[in-house]
Copies of this chain bind each other. A is one copy, B any other.
Amino acid sequence: VPEIAFLNSAYMPIEDAKISINDRGFVYGDGVYEVMVAYGGHPFRMHQHLQRLKRSAAEIRLALTSSVEEIERVMMEGIERAGFDDTMVYLQFTRGVAPRKHSFPANTKPTFVATFREKPITSEQTRRDGVNLVTIEDLRWGACFVKSIALLPNVLAYQQAQDSEAFEAILHAADGVVHECSVSNIFFVQDGRIVTPAKTNKNLHGITRRAVLDFANDLDIPTSEEAVQLDAILAADEVFLSGTTFEVLGAVKIDDRNIANGTVGPVTQRVAAHFRLTIEQGRYE
């Protein structure tokens, strides 16, 4: 099945979706994005994603010309056209096309791109065995809660993890404070309690992160959002990640050191199972 794109006002095969080399997304990384999964045609927590999109746009002072309702319509039609069981929806807005100059262009319409691809499969073996992580000093800018497309530092960190045959990179400050991973949020379990770094300017306030905290509440598992040191994660009973496409995934090794006994723990399994159940029961918001 070919990847479908929506560009400004029309759907097309992705090969036909082209933008100007003067698009500010291309020359400046001057834009924002969201990634969502639609399960059987139903986007998960769509309104939270679209609210975050609006917030990201406002933070970089990009005036969206599409309403939330219009974006929803583009999404729902694209999901239907693509026809996958589960769809990964990508939305991107940039500050539009203008001759290259750093200042905001006047009277330029934002570029709106959406793509519709099959949701990547996370194998049952990966879910059962868990994944490896590496630790990398976080070099990103000071406004990581903005979901901007200027992602080069994330790309470099993620690739560095791949090069070490790890799934993800834990990004931490020089003093050991953990921010998040390069494309996911991180949690650990200690004495039956789920802990995750508090929301700051140095991490993305993940929708799936929020879902995990909600699910823990459903399951009567105590949670805490607080300042987290790398040492606490290394000494934890369990470590897991949250992300839009893989949902919840246990981490069993960090920089070649096992977490606890090196297996995916019971709390991680309960949260992951509850996530599955939530989808099966059709509770998408």
Binding site for B on A (CB under 8 A): 3, 5, 7, 14-15, 17-30, 33, 60-61, 90, 92, 94, 99-100, 102-104, 113, 115, 117, 137, 139-143, 148-156, 158-159, 162, 182-183
CB-based contact B18/A20 at 8 Å? yes
Give complex CA distance A90, B61 in Å. Answer: 26
* Residues of B close to A94: CB separation below 8 A: 26
A117 touches which one: B99, B139, B182 (CB < 8 A)?
B99
**Closest Cβ of chain B: how far from A93's Cβ, in Å?**
12
CB-based contact A102/B139 at 8 Å? no
Known A14-B21, A14-B22; contact A29-B99, beta-carbon cutoff 8 A: no
A149 touches which one: B19, B28, B60, B153 (CB < 8 A)?
B28
Give complex CA distance A115, B151 in Å. Answer: 24
* Residues of B close to A155: CB separation below 8 A: 24, 28, 30, 102-104
* Residues of B close to A159: CB separation below 8 A: 61, 102-104
**Complex A-B: 18 CB contacts under 8 Å:** A3-B99, A14-B22, A21-B115, A22-B115, A24-B155, A25-B27, A26-B26, A26-B92, A26-B94, A26-B149, A27-B33, A28-B149, A28-B152, A29-B29, A29-B149, A102-B155, A139-B142, A150-B150
* Residues of B close to A103: CB separation below 8 A: 155, 158-159, 162
* Residues of B close to A26: CB separation below 8 A: 19, 23, 25-26, 92, 94, 149
CB-based contact B102/A182 at 8 Å? yes
Known A21-B19, A150-B153; contact A102-B29, beta-carbon cutoff 8 A: no
* Residues of B close to A156: CB separation below 8 A: 60-61
Give complex CA distance A189, B32 in Å. Answer: 41
Give complex CA distance A149, B113 in Å. Answer: 19
Most chain B CB within 10 A, of A22, A113, A137, is at A22
CB-based contact A154/B21 at 8 Å? no
